[in-house]
Amino acid sequence: MSSSLLRTTPLLRAGLRARAAKPLAAMATTSFTRGKATLPDLPYDYGALEPYISGQIMELHHSKHHQTYVNGFNAAVEALAEAEAKGDSKAAASQAPLLNFHGGGHVNHSLFWENLAPNGKGGGGEPEGKLLTAINQDFGSFENLKKQTNAALAGIQGSGWAWIVKDKASGNLTLVTRANQDPVTGNFEPLLGIDAWEHAYYLQYQNRKAEYFSAIWDVINWGTVAKRFGQ
């Protein structure tokens, strides 16, 4: 697969920002105003994370899987708005699982892409500064953080994610897992997410998921994590 054909525009990373779906005049005729979620461009080429994550995986994961969550989320938001407009509470409530699943899928993947970077070009290496101090304090060491995260990832029963999060109340770092596409919400600020769905690694690692969990540390963008941590 030629990675030059798969070039993405690094400047357009606005997927989580709302984009007006219709001209203003058209929107004025509806009882609600909103934008549609869009697929954010990757901040690197599809092949840029090789050999740790293959270009084929990245292309499918981003352009097919993430796109499906974006579409599903927009459809659920629309169905919810229609139900609300009709005063149909039952139909509105029935959208909740779809909003959580597709909205979570969109949020999680948007955070994930920015958590990754090509090895040696922002990816891999070790966390620094205040982030490293916090890691040492809350996990004992960086090695220990990786070990605990890999154990948590291996222990996920089914599809899901592992996250290094910041507890908003205490400021402490902690490790959590989420089933399927459940997003990290509430008192936790997500800093680093690792996708443990089979589609994230299967074409390259098949059932050997421990090898994927071990390899992904070589493409973790600690700059993003530090920024989210508030460094």
Among 44, 46, 52, 197, binds another protein (CB under 8 A): 197
Question: Closest approach of Cβ 47 to another protein, in Å?
Answer: 17
DSSP 193: E
CA distance 102 to 183: 10
Nearer to another protein, 4 or 207 (CB): 207
Q: Is 142 in the site for another protein (CB under 8 A)?
A: no
Q: Is position 96 an interface residue for another protein (rule: CB under 8 A)?
A: no
Per CB under 8 A, the segment of 10-18, 133-141, 153-161, 167-175 that binds another protein is: 153-161
Which residue in this structure is represented by tokens 């697929």?
Answer: 39
Instruction: Work out the number of other CB atoms within 10 angstroms of the CB of residue 179.
Output: 12
Q: Are 152 and 175 in contact (CB under 8 A)?
A: yes
When binding is defined by CB under 8 A, the residue of 65, 78, 136, 176 that contacts another protein is 65
Classify 175 in phi/psi space as left (phi over 0), alpha (psi -120 to 50) or beta: beta
CB atoms within 10 A of CB 151: 12
Q: What are phi and psi of 123, to 5 degrees?
A: -105, 145
Q: Should residue 213 be labelled a site residue for another protein when binding is judged by CB under 8 A?
A: no
The H or E element spanning position 91 is helix 89-93
Among 3, 71, 94, 159, binds another protein (CB under 8 A): 159
Instruction: Return the residue of 23, 87, 158, 186 that touches another protein, per CB under 8 A.
Output: 158
Residues 168-187 contacting another protein, CB under 8 A: 179-181
- Asked whether position 205 contacts another protein by CB under 8 A, the answer is no
Q: CB-wise, 142 or 202, nearer to another protein?
A: 202
Residue 189 engages another protein in binding (rule: CB under 8 A): no
Residue 62 or 166: the one with the smaller Cβ distance to another protein is: 62
Q: Which is nearer to another protein, 22 or 65 (CB)?
A: 65
Where helices occur in the chain by DSSP H, the ranges are 24-27, 55-60, 67-85, 89-93, 96-115, 129-139, 142-154, 202-205, 209-215, 222-229
Quick check: 103 binds another protein (CB under 8 A)? no
Angstrom distance (rounded) from CA 145 to CA 172: 13
Q: What residues line the site for another protein (CB under 8 A)? A: 60, 64-65, 68, 97, 101, 157-160, 179-181, 197-199, 202-203, 206-207
